[in-house]
Amino acid sequence: MPELPAISRRSALLAVAVLGLGGGLLASTAACTPEERPPELTVAGGESGGFYLEFAALLADLLQRERVTEKAIALTTGGSLENIQRVLSGEATLAVALADAAAQATALGKDDGQLVALGKVYQNYVHCIVREDSGIRTFADLAGKTAGVGEVGSGTTLTAGRIIAAAGLSGATAGPGRAVRQVNLGLNQALASLRDGSIDVMIQSGGVPTAPIAAAAQSLGVRLLDLSELVPATRAQSEFFYDRVLIPANSYGNAPAVWTVGVANLLLCRRDLADHVVRQIVELLVGQAQELVPKSSTGVQFLSPETLINTAGLPLHPAAEATYRALHG
C-alpha cells in the first residue's frame, strides 16, 4: 500500500489553526476531589539521543509549564517494551511506544485490558543501515551476517525480528549459515559497532532524521536498505498492519530516498488515568503541537488533527475519545 502523504510541521500547525484549536484549551482543575492536580506525572521515553526521549522531555516540560501537574519527569528507558511494562506497573504515567509492541501486549493479555492510547504522536521509520563501503545492497545480502537489533526492552527488537523472519533469515528456517545473528545493541552502541565492523547492519526504529545516525552519516558514510518488498510478508506473519513509508533523500548525508517499514508511534496510559488529566493532555497534543515537535524532525507525520486518532487498532482512553469528539465535532 503506498504511503500516505507526510504532514510537515508547518502543515500540522496550519491544520490546528484552521480548526481554531490554538493554545489556551486547558481546563482549570479543582483544588481537591477527582479534579485535583496530580503532584507528579512521569513519561517513559527512550534511550539518550533518540526521538522517544526527546519527545518525552518536551511533553514533560509542557505538562509542568501548563500546570497539568506539579512536576513532570521524562524517563530514560530501553524503549517500547520497557515503557509498556512501566506504565502497566504504575512506574510511569505515560509511555511512548510502537503500536506493534502495544498490540502484542494486548494480544497476549499482558495488559489485562488496561492499556489504552491518548493518540498517535508520530510515524516511526525502520532504519536498516549498513556501511557505504560494505558491498551490501539488499536485505537478502544480510544472510549469515550480524545485525544490531535494538536495546533489550526496545520495540525495535520486536519489529526487527519480524522483518528478519519475513525475509526468511531467522533461525533454522533460514538454512545452514544463512540466519542473521541478532545482537541487542542500543542506538549509540550499534553505531559504534557498525563503525568498528563488529556488526554488519544496524536496525533502528525512530523518527527522521534520528540525530546520532545523521551525525554518523557525515563521518562514516552509510547506506539505507530498501525494505518495501518485505512489508507484505511482515504484515502477514505478524497479523499487524505495517505501513510502507519513505525516508526522504538527503535525510542522512547524501543517501537517496528509500522505502521502508513504518510503525505508528503512540502515547499510552492506563485506562484508570483520571479523565480530567487525560482531557488536559489531549488538549495539549492538539492545541500546542508546535511545542512537542522535536527540533531534529523534518517533515514527518506528526501531531496533526487527522492522525492523532489513528491509533492502529489500540483503543483510545474513553476521556481522550470524548475530547477529540468535542474538539473536532
258-275 pLDDT tens trace:
999 999 999 999 999 999
- The dihedral through the CA atoms of 171, 99, 206, 51 has a sign that is negative
Cell output for 318 = 474513553
Average pLDDT over residues 208-233: 93
- With a cut of 60, say whether residue 300 has pLDDT above it: no
Specify the pLDDT at position 297: 64
Specify the pLDDT at position 16: 36
CA–CA gap between residue 16 and residue 303 (Å, rounded): 9
Rounded to two decimals, what is the model's pTM? 0.84
Average pLDDT over residues 129-157: 96
Helix (H, G, I), strand (E, B) or coil at 75: strand
Number of CB atoms found within 10 A of residue 48's CB: 12
311 vs 18, more confident: 311
- Pure H helices in 145-290: 155-166, 187-196, 211-219, 231-238, 275-287
Local confidence band at 302 (pLDDT 50, 70, 90 cut-offs): low
- DSSP code of residue 32: S
Instruction: List C-alpha distances in Å: 39 to 32, 34, 53, 63, 84.
Output: 12, 13, 22, 11, 22
Phi, psi of 224 (to 5 degrees): -100, 130
- With a cut of 60, say whether residue 11 has pLDDT above it: no
- DSSP code of residue 225: P
Helix (H, G, I), strand (E, B) or coil at 14: helix
- With a cut of 90, say whether residue 29 has pLDDT above it: no
Q: Where are the beta strands (DSSP E) in the chain?
A: 40-44, 71-75, 94-98, 115-131, 146-148, 181-183, 201-206, 222-224, 243-247, 258-270
- Counting every residue written for the chain, the total comes to 329
- With a cut of 80, say whether residue 4 has pLDDT above it: no
- With a cut of 60, say whether residue 31 has pLDDT above it: no
* Strand-pair category, 40-44 with 115-131: unpaired
47 vs 148, more confident: 148
Long-range contacts of 169-176 (CB under 8 A, 24+ apart): 169/139, 169/142, 169/143, 174/143
Domain boundaries, the chain: 9-123+264-328, 125-263
Q: CATH top-level class for 9-123+264-328? A: alpha beta
Local confidence band at 295 (pLDDT 50, 70, 90 cut-offs): confident
* Beta-bridge mates of residue 316: 117
Specify the pLDDT at position 18: 33
Mean pLDDT, all residues of the chain = 87
- The dihedral through the CA atoms of 11, 12, 13, 15 has a sign that is positive
The answer to whether the beta carbons of residues 270 and 86 sit under 8 Å apart is no
Helix (H, G, I), strand (E, B) or coil at 62: helix
- With a cut of 70, say whether residue 277 has pLDDT above it: yes
CA–CA gap between residue 178 and residue 175 (Å, rounded): 6
CA–CA gap between residue 247 and residue 308 (Å, rounded): 21
Average pLDDT over residues 75-95: 96
CATH of 125-263, one of 3.30.70.3270, 3.40.50.2300, 3.40.190.10, 3.40.50.300: 3.40.190.10
Specify the pLDDT at position 17: 35
- With a cut of 60, say whether residue 62 has pLDDT above it: yes
Specify the pLDDT at position 34: 54
Average pLDDT over residues 178-198: 96
Is 125-263 the same fold as 9-123+264-328? yes
The answer to whether the beta carbons of residues 67 and 37 sit under 8 Å apart is yes
CA–CA gap between residue 213 and residue 191 (Å, rounded): 7
Helix (H, G, I), strand (E, B) or coil at 19: coil
